[in-house]
Amino acid sequence: MTPCRSSGATAVVETLHRALPTARTTDEPRAWQRMLSGRRLDLLDPSPLDIEIEDIAHGLARVARWNGQTKGPYIYSVAQHCLLVEAVARVRVPRLDRSRRLAVLLHDAPEYVIGDMISPFKTVIGDAYKAVERRLLAAIHRRFGLPAQSAAELDALIQAADHGAAYLEATRLAGFEAAEARRFFGRPPALSAAMERDYLKPWSAATAEARYLERFRKLAGD
């Protein structure tokens, strides 16, 4: 015999059931990422108001260059790479002003959201990712008082410094022979031995994050 539930008990159960949250589904995929700062950055329409330098530094310090295929006890992070590129740019153009140096430092900042896509994979998937990358970089520039799009000569400097840094990383950390690296990245930059030892010894994530923030604040005038 099935026990009879009292009307009072039934009412309580029904009240509790109504109070419980119901699962909601949506056909629309999520296009935003929640940051540790609490910001929600929309990748389809990124707002400068949702960008914080602490989120950028934290993310870049934990994104690996070369898909992690580098020597050393730590990954070689995008944050450390950006600092190396900015150092190479300073050697190439010693009188480069602070705002342009800041643009160099931020050149890979979108990777705190989209990660570091290695060149071979870019070749495989084509240019679809570039629209997202451009939107993010434009929003990052506006957030920190830079033109949404850099001048052509600054873009050329960033590309040259980026290739120089890639040569050094490839030969010192990623197992490339010098001739092979030269074919892909051009001639190596003329950095001092002390700078090479510093910027090409992989740092911990905490060190990379702190040094990126320190350099940003110096260039941004905080």
In a domain, 98, yes or no: yes
Q: How many domains does the chain have?
A: 1
pLDDT in tens, 77-119: 999 999 999 999 999 999 999 999 999 999 999 999 988 766 6
pLDDT at residue 6 tops 60: no
In a domain, 198, yes or no: yes
pLDDT at residue 10 tops 80: no
In a domain, 29, yes or no: no
In a domain, 70, yes or no: yes
Share of the chain above pLDDT 90, in %: 74
Other C-beta atoms closer than 10 Å to the C-beta of 163 total: 18
In a domain, 1, yes or no: no
In a domain, 95, yes or no: yes
Contact 169, 65 (CB under 8 A): yes
pLDDT in tens, 113-168: 988 766 666 666 667 778 888 999 999 999 999 999 999 999 999 999 999 999 99
How many Å apart are CA 45 and CA 144, to the nearest integer? 17
**pTM, two decimal places:** 0.83
Share of the chain above pLDDT 70, in %: 82
Residue 167 in tokens: 């040569």
Q: What is the CATH number of the domain that holds 69?
A: 1.10.3210.10
- For position 132, what pLDDT does the model report? 85
Question: Which stretches within the chain are classed as H helix?
Answer: 7-19, 53-60, 78-92, 98-105, 111-114, 119-125, 128-143, 152-172, 178-185, 193-199, 205-220
In a domain, 6, yes or no: no
Give the mean pLDDT of 35-46.
92
Give the mean pLDDT of 189-215.
97
Report how far apart, in Å, the C-alpha atoms of 181 and of each of 76, 82, 83, 108 are: 17, 19, 20, 21
- For position 24, what pLDDT does the model report? 47
Residue 181 lies in domain: 43-220
CA proximity to 76, closest of 192, 165, 147, 195 = 165
In a domain, 78, yes or no: yes
